[in-house]
Chains A and B, each alone.
Chain A
Amino acid sequence: MNSTQRHEEVVTGPEERAGRTVVLGTETPLTLDSGTELGPFTIAYETYGQLNDEKSNVILVCHALTGDQFVTGINPVTGRDGWWPLMVGPGLPFDTDRYFVVCANVLGGCMGTTGPRSDDPKTGRPYGLSFPVITIKDMVRAQAMLLDHLGIDKIFCVSGGSMGGMQALQWTVTYPERVHAAIPIGSAAHHTAQNIALHEVGRLAIMGDTDWHGGDYLSHNAIPRAGLSVARMAAHISYLSEAAMHRKFGRQLQDRETLSYGFGADFQVESYLRHQGEVFVERFDANSYLYLTRAMDYFDLIAEYRGVLADAFQGSPTRFCIISFTGDWLFPTSENRTIVHALNAAAANVSFVEIESDKGHDAFLLDEPEMFETIRGFLRGAAEHWSGTTQ
C-alpha cells in the first residue's frame, strides 16, 4: 500500500492487504531506537468486539514473529483461520462480547504495516534494506500511536506470546501508567544466545539465496524462496518439541513403502517441513523476516536496566500474569522465571503459571485448557481491581 496516504482507509484490493489501516507520524515522525526518524508510516490493524463508552475494555494483542493482525476469523490474505481463534472470540478467554480486542501488524511487518516491502516515499521504490532496523520498543511505540489515534488512553490488558510477549513486557515498562494488566506468554526479558543463533541460521539462508539480490529482490521480480523456506523450516523445528514431533511423525515414510536411497522427502517429517516452508513463502516477506528476527535478537530489557531487571518494574501499577510451558525449549520456563523474580524483587503484583505441555513453544497457540482457565481467572481478578484507570 502507498504509505504516503494520510487518511484512514479500507483496502480491499486482491493484491494489497485487506483490512484496516491508518497512517501515523505525519506531523511528528516516530524516532526509532536506531535514531532514525520514520514517518509517515502505515499501521494495519484489526479490532474485535465493541469499544465501550468509557473506552475501558481494551485488550491489546501483540502478535508473534510471523503472526499478523488477523487474530481470529478468516485471514483475508491467506484464506486460513486467524492465529489465535481459541483465545479471542465470544465466550473465549479474550471475550469479544465483553472486551474490545485490538491487534496491529508490527512495524517492519508485511501485512499492511510499513516494513521493508513498503515503498520508501523518498524514492517511490520499496525500502528493502534501506528500511531502518526496528526494535521491540519501536513496535510498541507505534502501537501506542495507534491507540492514541483510536482515542484509547488505558489498556485493560496487553497480551501476546513469544515476540508478542516481549511487546507486552515492553508495554509495561515503556507505558506502565497505561497498562492495567499484562499476560506475556512463553516470552523472555532477552533473547538468549541460542535464540539468536537459530535466527542467524534463518537470516543467512535468506541472504545466501541468489534470488535475494542484496535485499532488492522486488526490483528483480524475484523472491528468495529457497532461503526463506529453509529459514522457516529451521524456525519451525524450534517451535515444536521432540515429543510432539515424534508423536506426529515418528520415522514414518511419506507416500512410500521403503527408503528411496536418495534425497527426496522420504520421511513424513521432511515432507511436512518442506510444506511449511513453501506455504510460508507465499505469505511472508523475506526482508521482513530479517528485520523482525533482528528486533527479537536486540531485545534485552535486562541490559537496558544495567543488569537489574527489577529496576524495569519499580513502582509498576500493572498486574502481571507470566505463563510458560514445560515443553518450550525456545523460551523455557527458566527465562520466564527470571521475569517473575524481577517482578517479585520490585514488589509488583505477579502471578506465574507453568503449564504442563509437551507441544513446544507453539503451545501458546494451541488448545491448552489450563492456560485458558488461568487467563480467565487472572482477567476476573484484574477486572475486580479495575475502574477504567490504572492505580
Chain B
Amino acid sequence: MSSGPTSDPGSNIRVDLLLIADMIDTGSRVLDVGCGNGALLHHLARTKNVDGRGIELSQAGVNACVAQGLSVVQGDADTDLVNYPTASFDYAVLSQTLQQVRRPGDVLAELLRIGRRAVISIPNFGHWSVRWQLAVTGRMPVTKALTQQWHDTPNSHFCTIKDFIELCAALSIRIERHISADRLGNRMNFVGDGPFANLLSEQGVFLLSRPGTG
C-alpha cells in the first residue's frame, strides 16, 4: 500500500517513517494501516517496545511481515477497519496511503475510532513544483515526490496540505502536531506549519485526535 522507496526493515528505515515513529509513545499499542514490508512496525517494536499490528493490501508485503514475526493481516483500509473495536489502539498509523483509499474521510474517521490518536502522512499536491507544472505545461504533474503518470498511479485522491487541514476541521478532528517534510521525510523546520507549508512542503505528517479524547 505504501509507496516510496523500500528498505530492509529496521536497518535503513525510511526517514519519513522515523518522523512518524517520533510521534509515538514508548510502550503503546499501534495499528499500522498499509504497513508495507513492516519496516515501521519492526522499528517501533525494537526501539519503543510497541505492541504493533498491521494491515497491508499487498500479499507480498503481508507475507514478508509475518515471516519476520510481525502480526499483520491482509486487508483493505476501505473495508476492513470496520472490524476493529473502538479505542483498541493508542495510535492508528496511515503512512502515504490516504490518497490511495476510496473514501479518505471515512477512513480517517475510522482511524480515530480505532486509535485514540492517528498519525497520518500525506504527499502535498499543493507543492510549488506541482502547481508550476500544471500551470505551465497544462498536464498532470510528475515530480520527484509524485513519480507516476496519472493513469499509472495508485493515488486517486490527491489533496493539498490546506485541503487536509480543512477536512480535519470538517470532521471535528484536532491536529495536535503538524510537521512539514521534504519528499524523503526530512523535517523542513524553516517551513513550519503555517501558510508556507502548503507551498513548500512535499509531505505533511500529522498527529490527530478527537477533541475530548487523548
* A positions within 8 Å CB-CB of B: 319, 321-322, 340-342, 344-347, 349-356, 370, 373-374, 376-378, 380-382, 384
Contacts of B75 in A (CB 8 A): 340, 352
Question: What are the 4 closest A-B residue pairs judged by CB atoms, nearest first?
Answer: A381-B69, A377-B67, A352-B73, A341-B83
Q: Contact at B84–A374, with CB atoms within 8 Å?
A: no
Best-buried of B73, B74, B83 by chain A (most CB within 10 Å): B73
* A377 to B41 Cα, complex, angstroms: 15
Q: Contact at B83–A378, with CB atoms within 8 Å?
A: no
Q: Contact at A345–B72, with CB atoms within 8 Å?
A: no
Q: Contact at A381–B68, with CB atoms within 8 Å?
A: yes
Contacts of A370 in B (CB 8 A): 63
Q: Contact at B67–A344, with CB atoms within 8 Å?
A: no
A354 in contact with B74 given A345-B85, A373-B63 (CB within 8 Å): yes
Distance in Å from the Cβ of B56 to the closest Cβ of chain A? 10
A340 in contact with B71 given A353-B62, A378-B66 (CB within 8 Å): no
Q: B70 interface residue, CB < 8 Å from A?
A: yes
Q: Contact at B67–A376, with CB atoms within 8 Å?
A: yes
Contacts of B73 in A (CB 8 A): 322, 340, 344, 350-352
Q: B80 interface residue, CB < 8 Å from A?
A: yes
Contacts of A381 in B (CB 8 A): 68-71
Contacts of A377 in B (CB 8 A): 66-69
Q: B174 interface residue, CB < 8 Å from A?
A: no
Contacts of A380 in B (CB 8 A): 68-69
Which of A345, A353, A373 contacts B83, CB < 8 Å? Answer: A345
Q: Contact at B85–A347, with CB atoms within 8 Å?
A: yes
Contacts of B84 in A (CB 8 A): 344-345, 347
Can you list 16 A-B contacts with CB-CB less than 8 angstroms, sorted by A residue number?
A340-B75, A350-B71, A350-B73, A351-B71, A351-B72, A352-B72, A356-B59, A373-B67, A374-B63, A377-B66, A377-B68, A378-B66, A378-B69, A381-B69, A382-B69, A384-B69
Q: Contact at A352–B74, with CB atoms within 8 Å?
A: yes
Distance in Å from the Cβ of B116 to the closest Cβ of chain A? 14
* A340 to B79 Cα, complex, angstroms: 13
* A390 to B63 Cα, complex, angstroms: 25
Distance in Å from the Cβ of B64 to the closest Cβ of chain A? 9
* A103 to B75 Cα, complex, angstroms: 33
Contacts of A376 in B (CB 8 A): 67
> A345's closest neighbor in chain B, by CB?
B83
* A342 to B80 Cα, complex, angstroms: 11
Contacts of B68 in A (CB 8 A): 377, 380-381
Q: Contact at A353–B74, with CB atoms within 8 Å?
A: yes
Distance in Å from the Cβ of A232 to the closest Cβ of chain B? 33
Which of B66, B69, B85, B88 contacts A353, CB < 8 Å? Answer: B66
* A355 to B88 Cα, complex, angstroms: 28
Contacts of A346 in B (CB 8 A): 85
Q: Contact at B67–A374, with CB atoms within 8 Å?
A: yes
* A377 to B69 Cα, complex, angstroms: 5
Contacts of B67 in A (CB 8 A): 373-374, 376-378
